[in-house]
Amino acid sequence: NPPQHMVEHIKTEQQISQLVSGHKFSGLTPMGTELRKKVIDGIVVPAIRSRQMRKPILVITITDGQPAGEPTTAVFDTVRYAIQEASNSQYGRGAIAFQFAQVGNDEKAREFLGKLDDDPVVGQLVDCTSNFENESAEMARANPPVDLTPDLWILKLILGAIDPSYDTKDEKSNRPQGGPPGYGAPPQQGGYGGQGQYPPPPGAPQGYGQQQGGYGQQQGYPPQQQGGYGAPPQQQGGYPPQQGGYGQQQGYGAPPPPPRY
């Protein structure tokens, strides 16, 4: 493993390149086993149990292949374990979200991530994003079809795990739409931000998520409410508030408004 100072406070592309170039990638991919050992048991659970978690955690796993060298249910079990730990805490189920992203075009990896994303239980707790070509083909088959661009693919990669309107657009299952309590209620009928399609690029008029609060406001982060992060304030319209956990209106998981210039 790299030294601790190399994996903390990463802010530049140069730091990322240095970190990746110093690591040799080879062998099997025990994804679920390592995810639990290094991230869930190593970082998340201690923060939850010690009540030292300062904000929700988004876990992004980047892989070029399907898991190997571990039980076939290891990834599923790890996700369920992490969500259960959060659900039993003061922070609630929305304290952690998962994004699994594929690099390369390995078909087995795509099939595995598809099963994970469409799973009737775990699929509601994670988002999986394939490479641009596969995601574009899946979006084109959606109803209504979506013309995916590279910029919108990046948005889906970043927001899919915390905003269900992005997550469900590339899924074929019939499970109910909507993320875990705390990351916001199911989106309004009609797709992203009630527009029926992906939002225009940041800065365009009538952009996605023109709601009060959330990330990106010039006033900064919303004040914490008593009893946990993002307790529901008086309703301002849009997504209805939920009880407990992170990400009520004006909190984590609210769709970001366009940046102001």
Position 255 scores a pLDDT of 52
Closest CA to 63 of 22, 17, 99: 99
- Token pair, residue 64, equals 């070029």
> Which stretch of 36-45, 48-57, 158-167, 204-213 has the lowest confidence by average pLDDT?
204-213
Residue 158 pLDDT grade (very low, low, confident, very high; cuts 50, 70, 90)? confident
d(CA 250, CA 24): 42
Residues in the chain: 261
Q: Which helix (H) or strand (E) holds 128?
A: strand 126-129
pLDDT band at 240 (very low <50, low <70, confident <90, very high): very low
Q: What is the rounded distance in angstroms from the CA atom of residue 257 to the CA atom of residue 206?
A: 10
Domain assignment present for residue 80? The answer is yes
- Give me the half-sphere count of Cα atoms (radius 13 Å) on the Cβ side of residue 69: 9
Distance from C-alpha of 41 to C-alpha of 126, rounded to nearest angstrom: 18
* DSSP 8-state code for residue 248: -
pTM over 0.75: no
Spatial contact of 139 and 170, defined as CB atoms under 8 Å apart: yes
Provide the number of structural domains found in the chain.
1
Q: Is the pLDDT of residue 175 over 70?
A: no
Count of CB atoms situated within 10 Å of the CB of 80: 14
Q: Which residues of 234-243 are buried (b: 16+ CB within 10 A; e: fewer)?
A: eeeebbebbe
Q: Place 61 in a pLDDT band, splitting at 50, 70 and 90.
A: very high
Burial of 34 per CB tally in 10 Å (0-12, 13-18, 19+): middle
Cα dihedral value 72, 98, 55, 192, nearest 10: -160
Query: Is residue 189 situated within a structural domain?
Result: yes
Mean predicted lDDT score pLDDT of the chain: 72
Summarize pLDDT for 93-135 with one digit per residue, the tens: 989 999 999 888 888 888 998 899 888 888 888 988 888 888 8
**Position with higher pLDDT, 203 vs 7:** 7
Digit-coded pLDDT (tens) for 181-225: 443 334 334 443 333 344 444 444 333 333 433 333 333 333 444
Look at residue 101 and tell me if it is in a domain: yes
Residue 25 lies in a domain: yes
Q: Do the beta carbons of residue 232 and residue 241 sit within 8 Å?
A: yes
Please tell me the distance from the alpha carbon of residue 171 to that of residue 176, in angstroms, as a whole number.
11
Q: What percent of the chain has pLDDT over 90?
A: 26
Which of 89, 58, 97, 125 lies closest to 227 in space, CA to CA?
A: 89
Q: With left for phi above 0 and alpha for psi between -120 and 50, is residue 9 left, alpha or beta?
A: left
In a domain, 239, yes or no: no
Query: Which residue spans within the chain are E strands per DSSP?
Result: 57-63, 96-102, 126-129
d(CA 141, CA 132): 14
Side chain identity at residue 62, one-letter code: I
Mean pLDDT, rounded, for 219-238: 41
Domain hosting residue 84, numbered range: 4-194
Q: What's the pLDDT score for residue 239?
A: 39
97, containing H or E segment? strand 96-102
46 occurs within a structural domain:
yes
Residue with tokens 């996605």: 208
Q: Give the C-alpha separation, 224 to 132, whole Å.
A: 37
Q: Within a domain: residue 229? A: no
Flag whether pLDDT at 250 surpasses 70: no
**Looking at the domain assignment, is residue 218 inside a domain?**
no
Spatial CB neighbours of 115, under 8 Å, sequence gap ≥ 6: none
Q: Residue 132: what residue type?
A: F
